[in-house]
Amino acid sequence: MSSIFDRVPDLAAWVAAADIDVLVLKGPDGSLRLERAPNGSVVVADRPAHDGPQAASGGAATKVRATLAGSFLTRHPVRADRLVEMGDRVAAGQAIGLVQVGDLLAPVCAPHDGVVEAVIAEGGALVGYGDPLFWLARS
C-alpha cells in the first residue's frame, strides 16, 4: 500500500523549491511535518507512527472547529504577533484564533490544555460552521 511517507523526498524537494517554511500533512494513517532548516535544507521534523498524532503526544489530538461562520484570523488585528504558533503550549480556554464577523471578533478557545500541532485553516480565509481550524494535542 502506498503511503505519504514514501513520497517524503518529493515533498521535501517541493517545499525547498517553494517559499515554504513548514509543511504539515495529516491523514487517517498518520501525520508528517517538514521544516526548512536554517541552512535551507528540508528536514523531517516529526514523523509519528501510523496510528496518528496521539502516538507523538501521548494522548488524543483534537480538531478545534469553527463554531460560527466568518473570516478566520490567526492574529488579533491590534497585534503584530500571531496568537499561537505551532508547538505552543496552551491552556484550556485560551484564545488561539479568532473568527471575525463584521466588527465582532469571536475567540476560538482551546478546549483543553495542550500543544498546538497545526493551524489547519489559512489566516484570512472564510470558514464555515464546523470547519477544522487547529489540531490540538493533549499534553
Partner 1 sequence: MIEILSGAPLATVQDLGRLGALRWGVGYSGAMDPLALICGNLLVGNDRDAAAVEAQLFPFEARFNADGAIAVTGADCAATLDGAPLLPWASTPVRAGQRLRLDHPKPGAWSGARAYVCVAGGIDTALALGSRSTQLRGAIGGHEGRALRPGDVLPVGAAPAGASSEPCGVMPPALAMPLEVDGLPAIRVLPAAEYACFSPASQEAFWSGAYKVTPQSDRYGFRLFGPELLPSVPLELRSHGIVPGVIQVPHGGQPIVQMRDAQPSGGYPKIATVIEADLWRLGQIPIGRSVRFLRATWAEAIEAARVNERWIDEVARLVDLFRTRSARS
> What is the rounded CA–CA span in Å between residue 139 and residue 133?
19
Q: CB 139 → partner 1: shortest distance, Å?
A: 15
Rank residues 13 and 104 by Cβ distance to partner 1 and give the closer one.
104
Rank residues 20 and 91 by Cβ distance to partner 1 and give the closer one.
91
Q: Does 101 bind partner 1 (CB under 8 A)?
A: yes
Tell me the DSSP string of 86-100: TT-EE-TT-EEEEEE
CA 67 vs CA 84, 88, 97, 109, 127: distances in Å = 19, 22, 12, 10, 10
Rank residues 58 and 102 by Cβ distance to partner 1 and give the closer one.
102
Q: CB 22 → partner 1: shortest distance, Å?
A: 23
Q: CB 119 → partner 1: shortest distance, Å?
A: 17
131: Cα separation from own chain's centroid: 13
Phi/psi of residue 54, each to 5°? Answer: -60, -30
Q: Which of residues 56-85 bind partner 1 (CB under 8 A)?
A: 67-68, 76-80, 83
Q: Which of residues 80-99 bind partner 1 (CB under 8 A)?
A: 80, 83, 91, 93-95, 98
> What is the rounded CA–CA span in Å between residue 6 and residue 118?
22
| Residue ranges binding partner 1 (CB under 8 A) | 67-68, 76-80, 83, 91, 93-95, 98, 100-107, 109
